[in-house]
Amino acid sequence: MKNFALKSLFLAALCAFPAFAASVLPPMIYSDARIKPMDSFARNALYQMSGKISVAGVDASGWVARIVLHAPGTDAAPLFRVNRAEVNALLHLDPAVRYHAYKEIVPARGLLEEYAERTDAHPVTVEMRHLNDAVTLYEQLWGAEDYKRIPNVDPHSERVLARAENDVWRVYPDPTGDSAKLVSAWVYIAEGMSVMMPATPSPEQQKRLNLEVVYHRVNLPLWAFALAACSAVFALLALGFRRKILWNLSAIFLSFCGCSLIIALVWRILVTHRAPMASLYEILLLVAFLLVQMLVLLLVFAQARRLFALGAILEAALLFFAVACLAGGDTFRPVSALLNSSFWLTLHVFTIAVGYTGMILAGLAGHAALLGKVFRGKNLLDDESKKDTAFSDKLIYGTLAAGAFFTICGTLLGGFWADVAWGRFWGWDPKENAALFVILWAMLAFHLRAARLITPFMFVVLAALSLPVVGISWFGVNLLGAGLHSYGFESGTAIAVAGFVIADAAVIAGLAALAARRQPNFIGYN
């Protein structure tokens, strides 16, 4: 009852934020084909320039305001990140410094523009194009408040000075006469026309804009990561000290993590009016939520403690990846009409997410079984060891079967959606091939086991390898940025994904070698 009361209090506190958010209308801008809060625009702008959402203790909105209003010293602020030493050398920048100011880069502006016209995929060219885009954005912001370009308006008048800080962020009726379309003040500035009265969003739009601002400020996925990390710490302590209170604390923290995630997902539905399944960031939050539910259920009803501890660690790692690599800038980027309207797509993505969650659980169960055989020593024939082996076998088989089933169903549903959206059921797209690879991996393990072509030990190893297989198929394919499914592409994840896959494969190989060495009689058939 006490735990239920704590959870209810936590949920009530989180649910109060959306209600509080609808009180004050934030500054707005029309950008990326939608009305968005200036806060989201500023986060995206600063993230494009520096890879951060705050610099030197000033948040993104503060920096954008400084650029727009020509605050003294802005051009000397280190806002531009350069990742490659070769780019520093080409631009004659200090190679020991990663962040540079606009006034340091502008002498080489011509070289940046020259590289921006190239079409090759050389890493230096890609970095130079990215830096050119960031510098161009800075220059657009710097000129955004140039009211002298608006005819028939005295730039020194009291009316213009009073509006200078805010009006450029508001949305206005389309100057072409289309009353259903809204644009930003920049359109008027660029065309040299007088700025009209700002348009007023509907009450529903106002509520959604406020919810979006508060979502970024509360940052529930970050809280979920902190809770998952605490759960992982308590689970590891519980494995060492074997205290029930530690397991209870770990389960409570992970439950709160799940509460944070479901509220974040519902929050995104309220803002976007669609299922939160259109980006890698949203799907990762969904899979993280599903994983929490399964881990807590397995701990409560099956006492799968090693699996729970490993799952809590992976949960923290997934959420750290989401927050650190995928959540930079504006997390409510617009999606194409195909991704925003199809019933089949929503069903397909959710089913695939459930399938991948099952495959991840099978991989974790395989890891837990290998750890158990390593640390149990040579007591393979005692009753506790036999019981543990039988439970591990059932758990691995069940989670792998469930994961394969839902992945197959999700892939078929994806084919129905592709047939409706693109006119073909299957096109050997990279993401389609990746889902097929996951299915074939599971089928390989099942058929080799059924035909007794592998030992139970090797079946455990194959199940454990499901984790890096899902990592390659789910995240790795996004690195290609190719195919009709390129909507899921996210840059900046290559090192993290490659590091995880290589490290986990090495861990599995090491555990398998230790288990085979310490328990050679386990290698044969049961």
Mapping DSSP onto H, E and C, the string for 137-192 reads HHHHHHCCCCHHHCCCCCCCCHHHHHHCCCHHHCEEECCCCCCCCEEEHHHHHHHC
22 pLDDT exceeds 60?
A: no
Provide the pLDDT for residue 223.
95
**CA 390 to mean position of chain CA atoms:** 37
Looking at the fold, whether 149 and 212 belong to one and the same domain comes out as no
**What confidence score (pLDDT) does residue 171 get?**
54
- pLDDT tier at 186 (50, 70, 90 boundaries)? low
C-alpha 353/C-alpha 291 separation (Å) is 10
Q: How many CB atoms lie within 10 A of CB 283?
A: 21
**Final residue of a structural domain among 277, 303, 335:** 335
Residue 10 or 186, more confident: 186
Provide the β-strand partners of residue 31.
Answer: 34
Lowest mean pLDDT among 89-103, 188-202, 302-316, 378-392: 188-202
How would you label 424-442 residue by residue, b for 16+ Cβ within 10 Å and e otherwise? eeeeebbbbebbbebbebb
In terms of DSSP bridges, do strands 58-59 and 78-81 run parallel, antiparallel, or are they unpaired?
Answer: unpaired
Q: Is 209 exposed, middle or buried (0-12, 13-18, 19+ CB in 10 A)?
A: buried
Q: How confident is the model at residue 495 (pLDDT cuts 50, 70, 90)?
A: confident
pLDDT at 498 over 90: no
Q: What is the C-alpha radius of gyration for the chain, rounded to an integer number of angstroms?
A: 27
pLDDT reading at 197 higher than 50 = no
Q: How far apart are CA 460 and CA 55, in angstroms?
A: 47
CA-CA distance, 296 to 81, in Å (whole number)? 41
Are 196 and 220 members of one domain? no
User: Looking at the structure, do residues 19 and 41 belong to the same domain, yes or no?
Assistant: no
Structure tokens at 400: 């792998």
pLDDT greater than 80 at residue 38: no
Q: Report the pLDDT value the prediction gives residue 501, as an integer from 0 to 100.
A: 87
Segment 108-115 mean pLDDT: 88
180 and 252, same domain (yes or no): no
Helix (H) or strand (E) holding 28: strand 28-31
Structure tokens at 512: 């398998």
pLDDT exceeds cutoff 80 at 255: yes
Long-range CB contacts for residues 157-161, cutoff 8 Å, separation at least 24: none
Q: Which residues pair with 80 in a beta bridge?
A: 100
Q: Are residues 255 and 188 in the same domain?
A: no
161 pLDDT more than 60: no
Which carries the bigger pLDDT value, residue 73 or residue 230?
230
Whether residues 212 and 328 fall in one domain: yes
* pTM of the model as a whole: 0.79
| pLDDT of amino acid 17 | 43
pLDDT at position 7 is: 43
Residues 414 and 352: beta-carbon distance below 8 Å: yes
What lies within 8 Å, CB to CB, of 200 at 6+ separation is: none
Q: What is the mean pLDDT of residues 450-467?
A: 90
The Cα–Cα gap between 303 and 264 comes to: 29
pLDDT recorded at residue 15: 46
- 488 and 359 both lie in a single domain: yes
Are 226 and 369 found together in one domain? no
User: What is the structure's pLDDT at 6?
Assistant: 41
Write out the H or E segment, with its range, that includes residue 34: strand 34-37
Q: Domain ends where: 179, 201, 223?
A: 201
Helix, strand or coil, per DSSP, at residue 51: coil
Identify the three-state secondary structure at position 519.
coil
- pLDDT value at residue 484: 54
Least confident residue range of 46-60, 213-227, 305-319, 322-336? 322-336
Query: What's the chain's average pLDDT?
Result: 78
Cβ atoms of 213 and 198 closer than 8 Å: no
pLDDT confidence tier of residue 165, bands split at 50, 70 and 90: very low
Is a pLDDT exceeding 90 seen at residue 230? yes
More confident residue, 12 or 374: 374
Asked if the model's pLDDT at residue 522 lies above 80, the reply is no
Give the Cα separation of 212 and 80 in Å (integer).
26
pLDDT of residue 358: 94
Answer yes or no: do 56 and 182 share one domain. Answer: yes
Matching residue, tokens 């959306």 = 18
pLDDT digits (tens, 9 = 90+) for 384-443: 667 777 888 899 999 999 999 999 999 998 888 888 777 778 878 878 888 899 999 999
Q: Kindly indicate the confidence band of residue 247, based on its pLDDT and cuts at 50, 70 and 90.
A: very high
Burial of 282 from C-beta contacts in 10 A (0-12 / 13-18 / 19+) = buried
Asked if residue 4 has pLDDT above 80, the reply is no
Rounded Cα distance, 36 and 60, in Å: 15
* Confidence check: pLDDT of 96 > 80: yes
Give the per-residue pLDDT at 407.
Answer: 94
pLDDT recorded at residue 116: 85
- Do 149 and 242 sit in the same domain of this protein? no
Q: Which pLDDT value is given to residue 11? A: 43
The pLDDT of residue 158: 37
Out of 210-214, 301-305, 404-408, 520-524, least confident range: 520-524
For residues 517 and 502, the model is more confident at: 502
| Same domain (yes/no): 327, 348 | no
Q: Judge if 367 and 232 occupy the same domain.
A: no
Alpha-carbon distance of 428 to 73, in angstroms, equals: 53
Domain encompassing residue 239: 1-25+202-335
> Which of 22-26, 183-187, 241-245 is predicted least confidently?
22-26
Phi, psi of 100 (to 5 degrees): -130, 160
More reliable by pLDDT, 507 or 65: 507
Mind listing the pLDDT tens digit for each residue in 257-294?
999 999 999 999 998 888 888 788 899 999 999 999 99
201, 234, 264 - which closes a domain: 201
Say how many domains are in the chain.
3
CA distance 45 to 53: 9
Residue 152 amino acid letter:
N
> Mean of the pLDDT values across residues 89-113?
88
Q: Whose structure tokens read 């804009």?
A: 209
Torsion angle of C-alpha atoms 307, 308, 312, 314, degrees rounded to 10:
20
Q: In the prediction, which pLDDT does 341 show?
A: 55
What gap in Å lies between CA 496 and CA 325, rounded to an integer? Answer: 9
